[in-house]
Amino acid sequence: MGQLLLESCLLKHLPNEYAKRGACLVLVARRERSLQEVAERAWGLGAPDVLVVRADVSKVEDCRNVVDRTMHHFGRCSTSTRMNAYKVMESHFMQHLPNEYAKRGACLVLVARRERSLQEVAERAWGLGAPDVLVVRADVSKVEDCRNVVDRTMQHFGSLDHLVNNAGMMSISLLEEAKDVTDFRTVMDTNFWGYVYMTRFAVPHLRNSEGRIVALSSSASWLPAPRMSFYNASKAAIAQFFETSRIEFGPHIGITLVTPGFEESELTKGKQMSKAGKLEVDQESRDAIVSMIPVQRVESCARGIVSSACKGERYVTEPAWFRATFLWNIFCPEVIDWTYRLLYITCPGESQKDAIGKKLVDFTGAKKFLYPETIKVPDPKTD
């Protein structure tokens, strides 16, 4: 049996346990000398064959070489990985969260890559009661853009009370269909590092004002939805980052962690990036992902988020019934796995449009009752 083990803190001991069970091993680490020592122990414990490969797993070509050498040496690898590949960008609550803050008389700083859309949001915010609105065009995946946002905020207003992290990029794909997995770094750059950059630069000012961070994670941080591996991982990273930050900041900076289900957004309108690298609107693929799950109106979701944040609540899940999925995943993980495989996974050669979840939506006509009208006729921007 060919067994692939990548470098970790358990490098010296995990191979021993596999060796005792008669497994052939592939040992991977940056320090070849330490690998040889582990290999010798593995042979002594019963491993029939051990292949040593020096590699840095942070480099894509090194990882490709590890798998190629494993297959060349053993002919198979018993721990293969599957996933899927498209990309989707979504603005989440950009158009509605500011409205709720504006109704409470808050001054706003609006940040996005598309300045024209920001101006439209700013005009609505003024009409709803915001005394002042600053518009900043920025890409939160770039550290200098984030520094500039905070600097301009302080120059204009002199203080900062709430930081709302809501940027998001969606990836939808199976790993084996991804032509270049390095393309998915952009998901982490936006969803995770964008939050980290903004938070780091805002922290000194939030500490002075004893302010609050509102971080939009997702129920995807605990639900292992197929075709969304990179997105799920980024949202789980956000959740753990801010849980840890809550302890580090102590009582001086509050944190509200938001975990929405499906709500009106560019994702639920069907916006995604094709395998050719072009953004497109594909509502059939959207149906396969959302399936029979009700899609919440974004106004209701935004209202609940801002209300909870202003009350100082630690956690918000919208819609509230989605909290049950957290308990299901803890106490009935096998049921969650079985349901996802049944509804979302297709046979080899079939598209995701052949998934049972998609067929159920079409057969029952459930979209009439589960999806808001606004996502049935999409108008998401594709720039």
In degrees and rounded to multiples of 5, residue 107 shows phi and psi of: -80, 145
Cβ atoms within 10 A of the Cβ of 34, count?
A: 14
CB neighbourhood size of 368 (10 A): 9
Side chain identity, residue 138: A
197 noted as active-site residue? no
Distance separating alpha carbons of residues 341 and 344, to the nearest angstrom: 6
Q: Which residue has the tokens 């690298």?
A: 277
Nearest to 382 by CA among 228, 296, 298, 274: 274
User: What are the angstrom distances between the C-alpha of 320 and each of 64, 174, 300, 330, 343?
Assistant: 43, 30, 11, 17, 23
Alpha-carbon span 214 to 365, nearest angstrom: 37
Could you give the 3-state DSSP secondary structure of residue 3?
strand
- Given 231, 315, 340, 371, which residue is catalytic? 231
Long-range contacts from 93-97, C-beta under 8 angstroms, 24+ separation: 93/166, 93/216, 93/263, 93/265, 93/298, 93/301, 93/302, 93/305, 94/121, 94/166, 95/120, 95/121, 95/124, 95/298, 96/298, 96/299, 96/301, 96/302, 97/164, 97/166, 97/302, 97/305, 97/306
Work out the angle at residue 68's Cα, subtended by the Cα atoms of residues 66 and 72, and round it to the nearest 5 degrees: 115
Show which residues are catalytic. 231
